[in-house]
Amino acid sequence: MSDMLSYARGPEAPILEKTIAQALEDSAARFPDREALVARHQEARLTYRELAARVEETARGLAGLGLKPGDRAGVWATSCVEWVLLQLACSRAGVVLVNVNPAYRSHELAFVLRKSGMRALFLNEKDARANYRQILEESRAGGGEALEHVVHLGTEAWDGMLANGTNITWEPPAPEDVTNIQYTSGTTGSPKGVLLTHRNLVNNAWVMANALHLSGEDRICVPVPLYHCFGCVIGTLVAVVSGVTMILPAGQFDPLATLEAVHQERATVLYGVPTMFIAELEHPEFARFDLASLRTGIMAGAPCPIEVMKRVVDQMHCREMTIAYGQTETSPGITMSHVDDSLELRVSTVGCPLANTEVKIVSLSTGETVPVRQQGELCTRGYHVMKGYDQEPEATRRAIDEEGWLHTGDLATMQPNGYFRITGRAKEMIIRGGENIYPREVEEFLYTNPKIADVYVVGLPDIKLGETVLAWVRLKAGETATEEEIREFCRGKIAHFKIPQYIRFVDSFPMTVTGKVQKFRIRQEEIRARGLEQAAKIETA
């Protein structure tokens, strides 16, 4: 046993050769009267027949704007019916959907406008959090020459687009065509666009739907945001390929609205990043809700605490609860537990490879596959690996090697039974409540503050969020600043979750002899100084 290597592959299954739009058509033909989408905050309910008709209308609207196959259209909005319509309509018309995080502010939006070359952008005018129209105006100064159409959802512009729809006269897209660009931050400091094909997404959704044992009785509650792969693939597409109901409890995550949605809609499946499940379990009104309709669910997106998984099984009745592991670059699912695995395996591992998926763990120094139980970098190969990063051939070559293995940057171990645990990160990423943050990106932004000479950003452990952001800042000679002043400088320009919760002003940084900053020492010192040892010890799958 001792020389068994850390390599496992999922069962072989047929690969579906259809586009997202075809998957919708199939479900609409099979289950026309079944509920497809419920958006509780919009009081909207659509059957599969109605959804397919609204998607067709929206696709004609995109054609009427003059969008052609391969053109890019962005959606910068919280979860809503229109988000789903645009997602599916883009696929129908061959337009590439560009997901934009609704928490993005002017600095980040300008980057995505410039980088994606989108011709159309769909957004809300404003909500309680922000005035999106105004942020867009600020951003356009910094990029987005290609942007011709700005359509505010729920306004005359949206209705006008639908009214002026035209026939789609071109060939429908093929399964191998790119249909979606999802941004994920790169270690180089700015976000990279992950190019995903119909084949990537339809098949990943299909294997995850099968892993959940979905049937016509199932109703999936999706409190995770649609801009992220958890929402738009494991949410929308899992529902669409299997013809089951997707329930959106609110525009943005709200624990109370999620509990109410499960209770009133009799949801059978509940998704969430660990932070969301914690917020639901700890909600003061938790006991008021009847959650007995729940059967299963998926926790993913960040290290999943074993104790939280156990509480979800016991207190939320998710007796078949699972953990999935993956990343945007892999459509996203790589591994997942089986609904009928032992409780111990389901709470303490991230499962085993999904169908048609290979996984291995390699040594960071030699690149060789390591023996079981030994830690290394998790790599994966299969239909689910992205086409590449948009216009970044160098970064794509670094991520996907010549044999087609994608290097995830996550550290993991494999047990002899083929189950994996995520043990850390080779990449310098912080995951705060499911949102990924690259320290380099925040550092580069903070350098634009004229008072700052030098800055290092690290993640600190946090009981509720998993991690939070800390910045060590050295000011230029003679300058003074307060923590609040630095945070104020960030507001409106970068997403709220990237703004350092903790800031310490220092004169120097811990260095190696070769002059490299030792971030792990910054982290250790802060854990001690702030008494965060308890949070640092939480055990995860």
Phi first, then psi, for residue 305 (nearest 5°) are -65, 135
Q: Which is nearer to ligand AMP, 285 or 539 (CB)?
A: 539
Is the distance from CB of 423 to CB of 303 less than 8 angstroms?
no
Is the distance from CB of 34 to CB of 216 less than 8 angstroms?
yes
Cα dihedral 198/201/203/208 (nearest 10): -160
- Of 323, 354, 372, 465, the residue at the interface with ligand AMP (CB under 6 A) is 323
Q: Which is nearer to ligand AMP, 84 or 399 (CB)?
A: 399
CA 499, CA 446: separation in Å to the nearest integer?
10
CA 82, CA 69: separation in Å to the nearest integer?
20
519 binds ligand AMP per the rule CB under 6 A: no
CA 321, CA 148: separation in Å to the nearest integer?
45
Q: Which is nearer to ligand AMP, 258 or 328 (CB)?
A: 328
- Select the span of 67-75, 83-91, 299-307, 387-395 touching ligand AMP (CB under 6 A): 299-307
Helix, strand, coil: what percent of the chain each, to 5?
35, 25, 40
- Of 103, 300, 312, 370, the residue at the interface with ligand AMP (CB under 6 A) is 300
Q: Is the dihedral of CA 51, 53, 58, 59 positive or negative?
A: positive
Q: Which is nearer to ligand AMP, 151 or 229 (CB)?
A: 229
CA 327, CA 184: separation in Å to the nearest integer?
9
- Select the span of 214-222, 242-250, 296-304, 523-531 touching ligand AMP (CB under 6 A): 296-304
Instruction: Residue 357: name the closest of 209, 201, 204 by CA.
Output: 204
Instruction: Give min distance, CB of 304 to ligand AMP, in A.
Output: 5
Site for ligand AMP in 222-281 (CB under 6 A): 229
Element (H, E) at 85: helix 81-93
Q: Which is nearer to ligand AMP, 95 or 422 (CB)?
A: 422
195 binds ligand AMP per the rule CB under 6 A: no
Q: Which x/- pattern over 72-91 shows residues binding ligand AMP (rule: CB under 6 A)? A: --------------------
Q: Which is nearer to ligand AMP, 300 or 473 (CB)?
A: 300
CA 429, CA 141: separation in Å to the nearest integer?
30
Q: Would you say how long the chain is, in residues?
A: 541
410 binds ligand AMP per the rule CB under 6 A: yes
332 binds ligand AMP per the rule CB under 6 A: yes
Residue 375: CB atoms within 10 A of its CB come to: 17
Instruction: Give min distance, CB of 225 to ligand AMP, in A.
Output: 11
- Of 301, 305, 433, 461, the residue at the interface with ligand AMP (CB under 6 A) is 301
Instruction: Give min distance, CB of 147 to ligand AMP, in A.
Output: 25
184 binds ligand AMP per the rule CB under 6 A: yes
Cα dihedral 430/436/439/442 (nearest 10): -140
Q: Which is nearer to ligand AMP, 41 or 425 (CB)?
A: 425
Q: Which is nearer to ligand AMP, 151 or 312 (CB)?
A: 312
- Of 325, 383, 419, 456, the residue at the interface with ligand AMP (CB under 6 A) is 325
- Select the span of 23-31, 153-161, 295-303, 314-322 touching ligand AMP (CB under 6 A): 295-303
* Count of residues touching ligand AMP (by CB under 6 A): 19
3-state secondary structure of 24: helix
Q: Which is nearer to ligand AMP, 229 or 359 (CB)?
A: 229
Q: Which is nearer to ligand AMP, 303 or 353 (CB)?
A: 303
Give, to the nearest 10 degrees, the angle between helix 255-265 and helix 274-281.
80
351 binds ligand AMP per the rule CB under 6 A: no
What letter does residue 491 receive in the DSSP assignment? Answer: T
- Of 97, 244, 350, 535, the residue at the interface with ligand AMP (CB under 6 A) is 350
Question: Encoding tokens for residue 2?
Answer: 């001792």
441 binds ligand AMP per the rule CB under 6 A: no
328 binds ligand AMP per the rule CB under 6 A: yes
CA 200, CA 154: separation in Å to the nearest integer?
31
Sheet holding 452-462, edge to edge: 452-462, 466-475, 502-505
Which residue type occupies 235?
A: G
Residues that bind ligand AMP (CB under 6 A): 184, 229, 300-304, 323, 325, 327-328, 332, 350, 408, 410, 422, 425, 431, 436
